Structures are given as structure tokens and as C-alpha cells.
Amino acid sequence: MTELLYTAEAPFEAARRDAHGWHGHSFRLRVRTPPDGGAADATALARSAREAVAPLDSSLLNEHVEPAGDAALLEPLEQRLRQQGVAPRRLALRSAPDRGAGRSEGDWCWRAFGFEAAHRLPNVPSGHPCARMHGHGYQVVLEGVGLDAEQLGALWAPVGAELDHACLNDFLPNPTSELLAAWLWQRLGAPDSGVRRLHVLETEHSGCTYDGARHTIWKAQRFEAATRVAGAGDRRAQLHGHGYRLRIHVTAPLDEVRGWTLDYGDVKAAFGPVREALDHQRLDALPGLEAGDVASLARWVVEATAPRLPQLCRVDVYEGDGVGAIAYPG
């Protein structure tokens, strides 16, 4: 049976004081919870998230918790969610575009880093565009346990300096995202250094996650569609529309020759017929999508995609800014 999580986000603006003095941030709380976690749907979860952050909005955070670090702020936010009857499976707080903290079976922090580099993949089929020397503005996201953002920065600094404005083939004979992630894992001394997981993004539309044992890649997709949510009891019951955003995640052992889990292009091609069935359609008029809600859509996408893409392990579907559902094949 398909497993499901609701996901939602809520922004707030606040100032705080730390060793660097007073400064302000545009924070964003991210919450995930299962259907039995106290939220009726993703929209209700978003409403609970907004209510949880409301006391912190336009405030001095040190008046709520001291010291007012990202990880410390998760405690009062989780308490406020639980007071509303919501039991979060996962919480994350982004305090800046490149950093934040999270909580899910333990606390962690994360920080993103960028570098510009060239590469080519020598083992791809003839005519594949990645066989040509080309380049990317890479982003690497490190998740750390027992580390803060400054410590993650210090850990990354020598590796980032080595990779920036370089050719990755000088470091790896076949620098796929997956093999680059494994190389970074070793160079950063993970997991002994405190890094528990890392993400390598070649573009904003594709990326790879590695935890020392398993590679998972994702490909972003989108489509435009109309819907109405049956029995919603609010404006969602009216015919309306969304620009839906998706992430298709797959995992499998690495291809020993290609050096990847799967070609990003193959993921896009396998999902293509599913996207075409949804794009510029009225979703609640399609068989299996009569409910018209994002949770039903996430389940439907998993069930429609899995036969075409056996390596599928997760689908994220967003109908609004951070609001949606995550489905896992049963």
C-alpha cells in the first residue's frame, strides 16, 4: 500500500542576537506528517504551520528562546504544533537560503555550498550530450549531526576551494553526480566528521542524495491542471487550477559502466506519458482522481509511474508554495 505524508511550509520574519550581533532573517518552517498525524490534509497542515510560527513573526527571537539558534527554535515550534494536535514526522527550519536545522529521529543542521566546474562523462552512449565537455553551477548540501553551520562551512572550505573553477575529470575519471557524491563523502571524512548525508545538484532540476550506503537521484517535473476538491467545504470545492511541481525520486545500485543510478534523461522519458496524461487536464474528471486533492494525486502518480520506472522510491507533489504530499510505493 502506498505510504503518504502531508507536507507544508510557513514563512516568518524575525530578528535575533548572537555572537555576530543583531540581524534579521526570512525564516521558513517545513513540516511533514502522516494522515493520522493530526492534520486533515496538506491545506490544514499549512494552516497549523502558520499558526505555529505566528508568535515568532516580526519578533525578537531571543525573547522566546535563548540562545536563539536554528536548532533551539525547533523546540517551541514543535510544541505549538502539538498543542494544535499535529504530531510532526519531520520538522525543518530554514533561516537563510543556504542553511537551517531539522528534527526527525534526532536533530541535524544543513548548509548549502556552490562551486562552478567542468566535466564530461566518458562512458555514456555515443551521441549523449554529457559525452561533450561542459559545465555546471553545482550545489552541494551537507547535513551534519553535532555540527553547526559554521562548522560545516569550515569542513567544506578546503574541498570547495579545490573544486571551484576546476575540471572534475582531474579528480574522477567518470564524474557523475553519484560518483562525485561518493568522492565527497570520503573527502569530508563522513560519517566520522559528523556529515550524515549529502546532496549534489548539477542543476535546479536534478540532484543526487548519498548517505554512505545508497544513492538516490531525483528529477523535477511540472504540469498545469484544473481541479476541484470534493467535499472540501471551502474555496477548494470550486473549480480552480494549479501549476503542480513534482520531484521523481529513484534509487538502485550504480551501473558499473555508466557510474550512475539511472540517466536523468531516462527518468524524464519514463515519466513523460504520466505527465502528458495530467498536463492541461481537469484532474477530478480523470479515473482515480475524482477526489481532486493533492494526496490522491500523489498516490495516483506513484501507481502510474512505478510500472514504467521500477526504481521509483518516492514522488513529491506540490500544488502551492511548499504545500503538497509525498508518496512512497508500497
Task: Please tell me whether residue 212 adopts helix, strand or coil conformation.
Answer: coil
Query: Annotated catalytic residue: which of 9, 178, 202, 319?
Result: 202
- The answer to whether residue 165 is catalytic is yes
- CA 237: distance to chain centroid? 29
Nearest to 101 by CA among 17, 29, 160, 45: 29
Contact predicate 88/105, CB 8 Å: no
Q: Which residue reads 513529491 in cell numbers?
A: 316
Query: Annotated catalytic residue: which of 78, 119, 130, 242?
Result: 130
Residue 99's CB: how many other CB atoms inside 10 A?
20
Residue 240's CB: how many other CB atoms inside 10 A?
13
Q: How far is CA 124 from CA 96, 101, 259, in A?
A: 37, 38, 9
Query: Annotated catalytic residue: which of 165, 224, 240, 276?
Result: 165
Nearest to 184 by CA among 217, 155, 150, 154: 155
Which residues does the annotation mark as catalytic? 130, 165, 202
